[in-house]
Structure 1
Amino acid sequence: MLILIGNQKGGAGKSTLTLLLANYLTQQQERRVTVLDMDYQQSLSAKAEKAKILENEPLYEIVPADLSHFPAMQRKLGKSRNEIVLIDLPGKMDDDGLIPIFAAADAVICPFAFDEFSVDSTLLFAMVIGRINKRAPLIFVPNRIKNTVKYETRTEVENVLRGFGTVAPGLPDRIDFQRVNTFQTPIILYPVILPLLDLIYEQYIAKEETV
């Protein structure tokens, strides 16, 4: 199964959400996971190398890759029914190399914030995905939600996004997310991440595999 984590806007929380999902799938669901780090910053690959220096083996393989590598890699990855491939996408939409990746996706997860620029970028991302791949479910994840902020347009934004896919439970703005790495998720985060990750697994991974 191939799952994309992306948004046109950089800094939406794609890489952290990729780590959270990869850790959850390997530790909680005992699934085999491979992560393709296609983000320009390649922060996931850097975290994996740092973990090895600290003598902590990552729970899964993280492969730094360029968009152009995908067609060749696709033939090798995801052949096992139990394997899940996660792709941390670059924060852009102006590369034709994205087209085969979008077309191959079995599900797409899109973290976003409620500020105007993030919402506009999210809608563009959703429209492009929808034109290229009509079968993959699109799951929007409100990210970095501040409890002290009143998001006046939240209901309106979520209603618009539901025209493209599902709006999942959001993730709060917490400093603890900076401690997520390739070999563990801090247990203090479990109460806030499990509602989201359980939903993604049960509704979009386990259910898809039984079809």
Structure 2
Amino acid sequence: MEKKKEPLFVALSNQKGGVGKSTLTILLASYFHYRKGRNVLVVDCDYPQHSIRDIREWDIKTVEKNEKLQGKLLEQFEGSERKAYTVLTSTPEDAKQTAYEFLDRSETSYDLVLTDLPGTVNAAGVFRSLVNMDYLFVPVTQNRMVMQSSMNFVLAIRELLSRNDSFPLKDIRLFWNCMDRRVSKELYRAYTEIFRHLKLKTLETVLPKAERFNRGICTDGQVFRSTLFPPSPSLLKGSHIDLLADELETILGLTD
């Protein structure tokens, strides 16, 4: 039997809640899995609420009640033979163990394990889980408190890595989420300069502030944030989720 390749473990995390990490984890998982054809596993460690698990359950119930959505799901499966990606639940400290218990049983070779961690580093095992990821991407918003907290978060992880080079974490990058065009660009430029001064890496992709990021499955068949479908093309346009996925593919070395 051919040996399965080792998946990349990726976390979207921030010690501040409300920055969109769970929503972006779902969007990226669905885009990579259903649109890009990557085999994705999601580990929901946002204990105890497990919001991604709850959204998967809501998605299933919504489809069960709507024949049009059932047809859409069947058409998607017949076109690609791709089943819905698995969502596991775990505590932060057991994230990798939970993933590997599933991966070892699976006959599928996975490309990505996306991990959603709590919005506080005070939760048990969060720091340990983060430094045992392969890559960490940190969404930030224009809020000053979020920015200060996010920088402290990344600097603390970088300091921990500098004292122990045995941790797997290869790269940490911040990226702008919920960018409101009406807000002065001075704040954006000021923090970009601070990032540069502190040698904090950032992604080029900037995600706009848009109501669609709160939109799940609609009965008219339009979808944005869903664990069962990729974003609908009309809603994907201008969201920059496709650009973010392309940039992450390059960083992660998944462009083959």
Query: TM-score normalised by the shorter chain: which range applies?
Result: 0.7 to 0.9
Q: 1:111 aligns with which of 116, 134, 139?
A: 139
Structure 1 position 186 matched with structure 2 position 220: no
Contact 1:4 1:88 in 2 (8 A): yes
**Bigger mean CA deviation after superposition, 6-15 or 157-166:** 157-166
Structure 1 position 83 matched with structure 2 position 111: yes
Aligned counterparts, 1:40-119, within 5 A: 40=47, 41-53=49-61, 54-55=63-64, 59-70=84-95, 72-76=97-101, 82-119=110-147
Contact 1:114 1:151 in 2 (8 A): no
Per-residue CA shift, 1:65-87, capped at 9, x if unaligned? 11233353254356676331111
Structure of larger gyration radius: 2
In structure 1, C-alpha distance between the alignment counterparts of 2:17 and 2:30, rounded to whole Å = 22
Contact 1:130 1:164 in 2 (8 A): no
Aligned length in residues: 208
Q: What displacement does 1:59 show?
A: 2.5
Aligned AA (1:158): T
Aligned AA (2:254): A
In structure 2, C-alpha distance between the alignment counterparts of 1:123 and 1:15, rounded to whole Å = 20
In structure 1, C-alpha distance between the alignment counterparts of 2:103 and 2:156, rounded to whole Å = 24
Gapped runs of 5+ residues in structure 1?
Answer: none
Q: What displacement does 1:139 show?
A: 2.2
The TM-score with structure 1 as length reference comes to 0.87
Structure 1 position 206 matched with structure 2 position 254: yes
In structure 2, C-alpha distance between the alignment counterparts of 1:82 and 1:133, rounded to whole Å = 27
**Bigger mean CA deviation after superposition, 47-56 or 12-21:** 47-56
Per-residue CA shift, 1:78-122, capped at 9, x if unaligned? 667633111111011124512331221111111110111010111
Structure 1 position 129 matched with structure 2 position 157: yes
Per-residue CA shift, 1:158-195, capped at 9, x if unaligned? 23234122233111111111121112213222442222
CA RMSD of aligned residues (A): 2.3
Contact 2:10 2:136 in 1 (8 A): yes
In structure 1, C-alpha distance between the alignment counterparts of 2:157 and 2:109, rounded to whole Å = 24
Q: What displacement does 1:147 show?
A: 1.6
The TM-score with structure 2 as length reference comes to 0.73
**Bigger mean CA deviation after superposition, 71-80 or 185-194:** 71-80
**Bigger mean CA deviation after superposition, 184-193 or 29-38:** 184-193
Percent of residue pairs identical: 25
In structure 2, C-alpha distance between the alignment counterparts of 1:177 and 1:16, rounded to whole Å = 7
